[in-house]
Structure 1
């Protein structure tokens, strides 16, 4: 956008301080940003596997809080600001100063952050990293087995024809129902159904839906399973993974 803007850079091992610039109507080239590798810090924490049969490692990434979308609970990952093969404790070194959302089990590994808000360690954590500061995340992240996406979008962006499609995911074993949300390519919710009934005698849940837009429009569906307690309050059991369930409807027009 034109006008006064602030440019900040994020890269493993490199501190790019905020730079204020004024962008004219015809754009601006050759902006020079100062950078140093002497003032980076680190982020440490831990994860706990609450219910994850068949999976024993996960990943933790840092997302700049200014780019994090709380509705979709996702944002752009920064190259290198990632801990892999996490089994308990983790440390991400070389973190530039700034405020970050800490996302555990964000990548596709059949695991998700436990969605049960009735226990600790399930909220999105934020950390503020100062110059040369070592930060410890106060909470330990609870990790659980994900609800498997069957189709569309189980392995990546899947192309589907225009018209009615069937969203399909694996049935949870002890659920009372499901909550479904569908997002468009801008991260806006285009459908919410918080009363998808449970299924019995089947391994999959199917939900028919007809998108409003085609011509290459992107969507993602996200599902959470829940159990109701004696007072009718919902306790979330699991959810689909953050990066699965993405699909493209129809064929984009030729430019």
Structure 2
């Protein structure tokens, strides 16, 4: 697999970016760095058909670099890359994946968040150390993250000076934290080791009520370390294994279970994935508040109460209905209606979580008709934007568009 890492606004190549690839088949690969031209290249294993060609196998990239927002991150999600799209380079005799998805544009951080050093280290003595979410946590800032590669190595970029505890999160393991006092120089040598306690980990469970909902009543729940949660973006980092969406962890009656949960503080996110549902309705009813839980070290069970209430989401029509959408001109923001609502509010955020434009108190119009408003806010090259729509009745939120849709950018 090969590609290029470059600046989303200047289009200049980025040297020293760290590229990490994940496969459902092989886990994480060893991380590689981009060269002076922004290029990277690394070997990957692939299952083959009878003709020796790779069969469908999906790869996800994670890219980070000094002074840049990590990818995926902010408003951006990663599109998985299919290994069956390989091309034979006859002069080299190699099969190579080199597509638009292997080239990654990174967004520069605000100037106030640039110029800081990194924390690096590894996870020791784990049989399967790759894919662990590593978080540098501080009481004064949101958690800064990295993911371990095949050898358990990690690098957290852009860490301001201060005192931190470095934690590791993944289902089925409990890692002892490592204290770090960060200055304006790189900090290396962090070693995260599995706790010596022989107790089992916690199980977290709960129930989801579907209110005024239709279709297949199957949604999702995820645990995100509270330090990584962004209130504006309404999302956080989900450690591997700490979500319930598959049928064996989320049944048709709305009961869900997540096992192997290590100690820590978590935000519990309901209807987080693109599944047609959102939290609600009515903010003043129990079951709609943001839920935070604290898991002690050791064995136990935590029941999340009250039950989550979810409802049908507003349809995101355009732009960004299925993924980030490239546009030549500012868009008309279009969404589907909700029944018996009094008005809609539309807000647009940039990739740094800043509110850049809004249109409030939009009348519902004729029942069943799509609604729209012309976007008249910033539309800068290299910046990503997301529009969100919320429907209200009697001053309370009824429903909204989904948290991962409605993203667009200038092509």
TM-score norm. by structure 1 comes to 0.89
Distance 2:355 2:183 in 1: 34
- Worse-matched range after superposition: 60-69 or 39-48: 39-48
Counterpart residue number, 1:156: 323
Matched, 1:246 2:246: no
Counterpart residue number, 1:236: 397
- Superposed counterparts of 1:1-255, under 5 Å: 1=159, 2-36=161-195, 38-39=198-199, 40-84=201-245, 85=247, 86=250, 87=252, 88-131=254-297, 132-161=299-328, 163-200=329-366, 203-228=369-394, 234-250=395-411
Residue 200 of structure 1 and its aligned partner are, at CA, apart by: 1.6
Q: Is the 8 A contact 2:356 2:378 kept in 1?
A: no
Higher RCO (CA-CA < 8 Å; seq separation 6+): 1
Residue 191 of structure 1 and its aligned partner are, at CA, apart by: 2.1
Distance 2:194 2:300 in 1: 17
Residue 118 of structure 1 and its aligned partner are, at CA, apart by: 3.1
Greater Rg over alpha carbons, structure: 2
Counterpart residue number, 1:253: none
Residue 24 of structure 1 and its aligned partner are, at CA, apart by: 4.6
Higher strand proportion: 1
Q: Secondary structure at the match of 1:66?
A: helix
Q: Is the 8 A contact 1:147 1:172 kept in 2?
A: yes
Q: How many residues are aligned here?
A: 244
Q: Which ranges of structure 1 fall in alignment gaps of 5 or more residues?
A: 229-233, 251-255
Distance 2:223 2:369 in 1: 35
- Worse-matched range after superposition: 145-154 or 201-210: 201-210
Q: Secondary structure at the match of 2:339?
A: coil
Q: Is the 8 A contact 2:229 2:237 kept in 1?
A: yes
Residue 224 of structure 1 and its aligned partner are, at CA, apart by: 0.9
1:81-121 superposed Cα distances (whole Å, 9 cap, x missing partner): 01114332111101110111111111001111114113221
Distance 1:51 1:62 in 2: 25
Q: Which ranges of structure 2 fall in alignment gaps of 5 or more residues?
A: 1-158
Residue 42 of structure 1 and its aligned partner are, at CA, apart by: 1.7
TM-score norm. by structure 2 comes to 0.56
